[in-house]
Amino acid sequence: MISFFLFPISFLWAQVPDVRVLIMYTQEKIELASDSRISIVNQENKREQMRGKNTFIIERTGEILILKNESNKELLRGSSLSITNNEKNKPIEISQVPYGIGWWWEGTEDRAYLGDLVFHINTAGFIDVINRLDLETYLYGVVPSEIGVTSPLEALKAQAVCARSEAMIGLETGKYAGPHYDLTSDVMCQVYSGIRNANDAVRSAVDGTRGEVLTCGDTIISAYYASNCGGHTESIEYVWPDRSEPKTYWSGKRDMDMSCTMDLTQADDIRTWVEDAPDAWCKPSSSTPEWSRENYRWKRSFSPDVLTIALAKEHKDLGRVYDIIPLERGVSGRIYDILFVGDKGYCRVQGELNIRRLWDPPLKSSCFVVDKIGPVSEPVSFILSGAGWGHGVGMCQTGAIAMAGAGRKYSDILSHYFKDTHIQRKYR
């Protein structure tokens, strides 16, 4: 099972590999614009050439994709279409690209992509849009999407190495692959939003770590990361037990140079930890970004009816919920097994993400303590006091930013979050 996420790197690739990234899959009509020399080809090698400024549409009609110009004139049709961009430094723009599908931040925005584009009709009857480009250019679109463009250079470098490691594993194992693509552009893989947000710092970070991946021995690891660990990262077996047995480089630790003296799996210690908010790299300070300030500690108040409805929809009807009992926590205090009690029965929910997603919007993390307001057997509301945002495995992005602000190098940041690992170059 471990080999699904790890692979040996005893050789160097001759050149930067290409990746095929699924960037859209829910639309029947795609609006594009180009200021480049492009060739559009169907599966029969019939071709349409465009030069200079052009806006055009690709839409599905039955089992066929049709290319039209801005005057709605048909130019080409086929069961699949491919756009080759002959000017590598000029992007192709796509209007209203959906992002965050199924999450509370869902929306659309115009995006720009370097490289080539491929279009297929998927099994749901929508158009799969795949961006084909080299791995280093792909990272120009991942790093700003995952850690922001204003982060210090050493934090950007740490993010680049993590993202490259995950992409390389995706290429070798196919764990994110579909019929025509290797990776996806969403949070289930890595967020990739095209080239528009890449600035000089991002390019410098990617170029300055070119070909570098994170390894244990001669084996690349999945260098997981999350927004804010809440002061303590989590061990992988409490988040994704199907992915790995315990590993030192995926083991939870305090987000400081010293170890944690409390047992965050225990009720008294986790309450003290959450309420006292001890120092950590990711604790709000002059070195942490503004967007992270509300993530280190947070509160959520809601009525029992919220859970009653959610549990009835996703699990079973408990009647009115009157108790929430954490059963098992990981080393960071994140709950992965919890019991909900109602006047009609009880329900057990397992898995940190399953727990978080019971709420709408989902909880920032499953590291929380519960307080009831009102009578014990008939509370009028619950208050959750929590820590962190995300699963907590691997690199804490907020902590990485603070460490970089304190003068730590990206190699120091990565060795802090991934014990017993090293940086190795996969290609030059």
What are 8's strand-pairing partners? 219
- Per the CB < 8 A criterion, the answer to whether 169 and 227 are in contact is no
What are 117's strand-pairing partners? 83, 131
Report phi then psi at 335, rounded to 5: -80, 135
Report pLDDT for 7: 47
> What Rg, from alpha-carbon coordinates, does the chain have?
24
Interatomic CA distance for residues 190 and 147, integer angstroms: 11
Question: Of all helices (H) and strands (E), which one includes residue 226?
Answer: strand 225-226
Helix (H, G, I), strand (E, B) or coil at 213: strand
Identity at 254, one-letter amino acid code? R
Identity at 241, one-letter amino acid code? P
Q: Detail the DSSP E strand segments found in 249-318.
A: 297-302
For the chain, the first-to-last Cα distance in angstroms comes to 30
Structure tokens at 13: 């690739």
Report pLDDT for 102: 83
User: How far, in whole angstroms, is CA 171 from its chain's centroid?
Assistant: 17
| Per-10-residue mean pLDDT, the chain, length 428 | 41 79 98 96 95 96 96 96 95 96 90 98 97 98 96 98 96 93 94 96 98 94 96 97 90 94 96 97 95 94 95 93 97 98 96 95 96 94 98 98 98 97 93
Report pLDDT for 104: 81
Interatomic CA distance for residues 77 and 57, integer angstroms: 12
- Per the CB < 8 A criterion, the answer to whether 352 and 364 are in contact is no
Report pLDDT for 162: 98
> Quick one: which of 249, 285, 204 has its CA closest to 393?
249
Report pLDDT for 338: 98
Report pLDDT for 11: 47
User: How far, in whole angstroms, is CA 122 from its chain's centroid?
Assistant: 23
> Quick one: which of 103, 184, 194, 24 has its CA closest to 390?
103
Q: Does residue 127 come out as left (phi exceeding 0), alpha (psi in the -120 to 50 range) or beta?
A: beta
Beta-sheet pairing, 422-425 with 335-342: unpaired
Helix (H, G, I), strand (E, B) or coil at 54: strand
What global pTM score does this model have? 0.93
